[in-house]
């Protein structure tokens, strides 16, 4: 997307994968890092930034549940998506050998994506707020007995050494990011829509909800449940499907959901990611 010097927020430090997603998705954007996702959402809601890039799911670790929980409570809209290839490296100070390392810092998602490598390495892990932030920590604190898991670009940015690379459990490792804004997007003819709905804790309720899409041959891309946090064992369902909410067939399916008693929140319609998973 080509924008002229508008502010785009992301969670983490410069050099993080979220920061990389900003650079891939936007041209001529002013990147603004945030320590946590809550502050990022709040800044977008208050229109201190024009857009935000947030991770929603990883091909190894699955969904980033904090993002989905924030989307449920927020007024912002999903206006785009992008997939970023994730190649994790073990990064340390120059001159530090692999056997010198006792501690490995990184974001919980990155630690989970490298679980097999870390199990074989046998070092204590410390969860932090960000991959690039982990490199920043061991750099600034001059920790010679520690390493961080982050990207090759982060090692270059902080002038650190790569000890091992491509250490994720699966080489085919991607993270999907949403672009958020306060704007509604127009139909492009090649769109997805994301919604949240609850179908009630009664027999056949989910089947009836999904039937609204099946009968109209609307392709579902993803469905996932999250606790409502209001009553035990009741769930909200996060659903992605092909099409734009303004398309007649999609709008009819939504109206059908309402008629069977589902409560619905439309997160947004947006162009499908154009990048290839390779």
- Dig out the tokens for 48 from the structure: 């201190």
The three state secondary structure string of 195-249 is EEEECCCCCCHHHHHHHHHHCCCCCEEEEEEEECCCCCCCEEEEEEEECCCCCHH
End-to-end CA distance of the chain: 21
Q: What is the dotted CATH code of the domain comprising 7-85+174-181? A: 3.40.190.10
Q: pLDDT at position 233, please?
A: 82
Instruction: With beta carbons less than 8 A apart as the criterion, state whether 143 and 168 touch.
Output: no
Distance of CA 165 to the CA centre of its chain: 22
Separation in Å, CA 25 to CA 14, 52, 239, 274, 276: 15, 11, 23, 10, 13
Prediction pTM value: 0.93
Q: How many CB atoms lie within 10 A of CB 162?
A: 16
Sign of CA dihedral 258, 263, 266, 272: negative
Paired sense of beta strands 7-11 and 30-34, if any = parallel
Asked whether the domain spanning 191-271 has the same topology as the one spanning 7-85+174-181, the reply is: no
CA R_g for the chain? 20
Check residue 164 and give its pLDDT.
98
CA 264 to chain centre: 22
Phi/psi of residue 146, nearest 5 degrees: -130, 155
Fold of 89-165: D-Maltodextrin-Binding Protein; domain 2 (3.40.190)
Could you tell me the CATH superfamily of domain 191-271?
Answer: ACT domain (3.30.70.260)
Burial of 1 per CB tally in 10 Å (0-12, 13-18, 19+): middle
62-63/51-58 β-pairing: antiparallel
CA distance 93 to 90: 11
Q: Which of 67, 125, 154, 175 is catalytic?
A: 175
| Token representation of residue 85 | 């290839």
- Given the residues 26, 177, 197, 241, select the one marked as catalytic: 177
pLDDT of the chain along its 278 residues, tens only? 756 678 999 999 999 999 999 999 998 889 999 999 999 999 999 999 999 999 999 999 999 999 999 999 999 999 999 999 999 999 999 999 999 999 999 999 999 999 999 999 999 999 999 999 999 999 999 999 999 999 999 999 999 999 999 999 999 999 999 999 999 999 999 999 999 999 876 778 899 999 999 999 999 999 999 998 888 888 899 999 999 999 999 999 999 999 988 899 999 999 999 765 54
Q: Where are the alpha helices (DSSP H) in 32-125?
A: 37-45, 65-73, 108-113, 115-121
Boundaries of every domain in the chain: 7-85+174-181, 89-165, 191-271
Residue 175 appears among annotated catalytic residues: yes
Q: Is 241 a catalytic residue?
A: no
Other Cβ atoms closer than 10 A to 209: 23
């Amino acid at each position: 997307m080509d924008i002229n010097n508008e502010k785009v927020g992301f969670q983490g430090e410069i050099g993080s994968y979220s920061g990389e997603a900003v650079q891939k998705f936007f041209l001529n954007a002013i990147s603004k890092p945030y320590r946590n996702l809550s502050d990022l959402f709040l800044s977008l809601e208050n229109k201190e930034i024009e857009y935000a890039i947030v991770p929603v799911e990883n091909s190894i670790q699955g969904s980033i549940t904090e993002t989905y929980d924030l989307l449920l409570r927020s007024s912002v809209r999903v206006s785009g998506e992008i997939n970023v290839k994730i190649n994790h490296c073990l990064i340390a100070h120059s001159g530090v050998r692999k056997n010198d390392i006792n501690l490995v810092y990184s974001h919980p998602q990155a630690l989970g994506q490298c679980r097999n490598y870390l199990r074989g390495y046998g070092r204590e892990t410390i969860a932090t707020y960000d991959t690039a932030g982990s490199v920043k920590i061991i750099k600034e604190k001059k920790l010679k007995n520690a390493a961080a898991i982050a990207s090759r670009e982060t090692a270059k940015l902080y002038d650190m050494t790569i000890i091992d690379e491509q250490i994720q459990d699966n080489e085919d490792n991607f993270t999907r990011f949403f672009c958020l804004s306060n704007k509604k997007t127009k139909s492009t003819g090649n769109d997805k829509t994301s919604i949240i709905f609850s179908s009630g804790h009664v027999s056949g309720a989910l089947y009836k909800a999904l039937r609204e899409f099946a009968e109209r041959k609307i392709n579902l891309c993803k469905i996932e449940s999250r606790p409502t946090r209001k009553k035990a064992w009741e769930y909200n369902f996060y659903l992605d499907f092909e099409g734009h909410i303004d398309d007649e067939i999609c709008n009819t399916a939504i109206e059908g959901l309402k008629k069977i008693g589902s409560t619905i929140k439309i997160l947004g319609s947006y162009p499908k990611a154009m990048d290839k998973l390779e």
